[in-house]
Amino acid sequence: MKYHNSILDTIGNTPLVRLHSVVKGIKATVLAKVETTNPGNSVKDRMALKMVEDAEKQGLLKPGATLIEGTSGNTGMGLALACIAKGYKLICVLSDKQSKEKMDILRAVGAEVVVCPTAVEPEDPRSYYSVSKRLAKETPNSWYVNQYDNLSNSTAHYEQTGPEIWEQTEGDITHFLVGVGTGGTISGAGKYLKEQNPAIKNIGIDTYGSVFKKYHETGIFDENEIYPYITEGIGEDILPKNVDFSVIDHFEKVTDKDAAVMTRRIAREEGIFVGNSAGSAIAGLMQMKDQFTEDDVIVVLFHDHGSRYVGKMFNDDWMRERGFLDEGHKVAQDLIEN
């Protein structure tokens, strides 16, 4: 009989899929590392399990413990699966810009969800950073996971995601491109890839409203770079310890609109139903398209599943309200004509 002992054993070994239509005009081979086949439908299952296992090894988790995390949803889902398998409770603290689908999904797998306002400073007591820290202090037998500064996050990608990409491309990868939030994915996988071949370039995708690009290029943490944005999962108003700026060669910023429009195109033109940050990544890649040659092999990591965004970028009314739909129509029209 062939079976897995627990759902946790199905994490990883995600497919690499060549992209065609959405990368038309680029000379390189572009391969998507599609992380939606993880059981929680995102790459975050990998780091969530690693953070829990490392905490157990360090004696930080007692039986029946409550895990508390400020999460945009995907890490919460990964933690929920780990908590179910290992008998822990979970409280997820989300900002109110996160999609309703993400909150409903977390509740479906038994997590308690606390929602906080987005438009406040990180130090504000109402922010999700502050609320998660306070809950961790007040809840008995609890552990604050802290994906931003918990280095088991990037280690998971150093140990799994990086080696998988290296093996799947048989060492031919020249560029790794991915959205940056906590920084775990690019820092861990990017470090592993550069260790195999120092010529590999790691490109981070950032949003307008986030501090990463300016900090990377100037060393200045510029508060003027911080303002609310719509894109989910990437960009920050803090510098998480998991971002290893030394392994990142370049940051490219992408607008909310370009990310949303491209997310829809990936679903309709490639049949790959993935989330908002995948759209950011491909839109960012296409902004840079003239820099690549036919010898380049670019791996773009797609973090999560499109089902989490059906009420957002996949919803025409939501797109229209933000003035994002014009290109969407044009794409649909192009498809009908071609």
Task: State residue 209 phi and psi, 5-degree precision.
Answer: 110, 0
What does the alpha-carbon distance between residue 269 and residue 265 come to, in Å, rounded to a whole number? 5
Q: Which is nearer to ligand PMP, 136 or 301 (CB)?
A: 301
Query: Interface with ligand PMP includes 182 (CB under 6 A)?
Result: yes
Q: Which of 33, 44, 50, 257 is flagged as catalytic? A: 44
Contact residue for ligand PMP among 93, 234, 261, 266 (CB under 6 A): 234
Residue pointed to by tokens 């609320």: 131
Vertex 160 angle, CA 158 and 166, to 5°: 85
Q: What is the CA radius of gyration of the chain?
A: 19
Query: Interface with ligand PMP includes 209 (CB under 6 A)?
Result: no
Query: Interface with ligand PMP includes 275 (CB under 6 A)?
Result: yes
Pairing status of strand 29-34 against strand 175-179: unpaired
Quick one: which segment of 183-191, 261-269, 287-295, 328-336 binds ligand PMP (CB under 6 A)?
183-191
For 9, the token pair is 């054993």
Contact residue for ligand PMP among 180, 230, 319, 331 (CB under 6 A): 180
Query: Interface with ligand PMP includes 152 (CB under 6 A)?
Result: no
Q: Which is nearer to ligand PMP, 65 or 166 (CB)?
A: 166
For 110, the token pair is 């038994």
32: Cβ contacts below 8 Å, ≥ 6 apart: 16, 17, 18, 19, 270, 272, 278, 299, 300, 301, 302
Query: Interface with ligand PMP includes 175 (CB under 6 A)?
Result: no
Q: Which is nearer to ligand PMP, 65 or 90 (CB)?
A: 90
Residue pointed to by tokens 């010898």: 295
Q: How far is the CB of 329 from ligand PMP (least distance, A)?
A: 25
Q: Which is nearer to ligand PMP, 146 or 277 (CB)?
A: 277
For 76, the token pair is 């919460």
Task: Give the amino acid at 172.
Answer: D
What does the alpha-carbon distance between residue 119 and residue 97 come to, in Å, rounded to a whole number? 9
Q: With CB under 6 A, what is the number of residues at the site for ligand PMP? A: 16
222: Cβ contacts below 8 Å, ≥ 6 apart: 211, 214, 215
Closest CA to 118 of 146, 148, 90, 93: 93
Query: Interface with ligand PMP includes 162 (CB under 6 A)?
Result: no
Q: Which is nearer to ligand PMP, 78 or 328 (CB)?
A: 78
Q: How far is the CB of 51 from ligand PMP (least distance, A)?
A: 12
Task: State residue 94 phi and psi, 5-degree precision.
Answer: -120, 155
Closest CA to 57 of 66, 45, 69, 49: 49
Q: Note if 44 is an active site residue.
A: yes
Query: Interface with ligand PMP includes 235 (CB under 6 A)?
Result: no
Output the residue with the shortest Cβ distance to ligand PMP.
233
Q: How far is the CB of 179 from ligand PMP (least distance, A)?
A: 4
Q: Which is nearer to ligand PMP, 130 or 207 (CB)?
A: 207
Query: Interface with ligand PMP includes 303 (CB under 6 A)?
Result: yes
Query: Interface with ligand PMP includes 207 (CB under 6 A)?
Result: no
Contact residue for ligand PMP among 233, 235, 279, 284 (CB under 6 A): 233
Q: How far is the CB of 336 from ligand PMP (least distance, A)?
A: 30
Q: Which is nearer to ligand PMP, 182 or 255 (CB)?
A: 182
293: Cβ contacts below 8 Å, ≥ 6 apart: 27, 28
Contact residue for ligand PMP among 14, 72, 127, 174 (CB under 6 A): 72
Element (H, E) at 211: none
The residues assigned a catalytic role are 44
Residues making contact with ligand PMP (CB under 6 A): 72, 74, 179-185, 232-234, 275, 277, 303-304
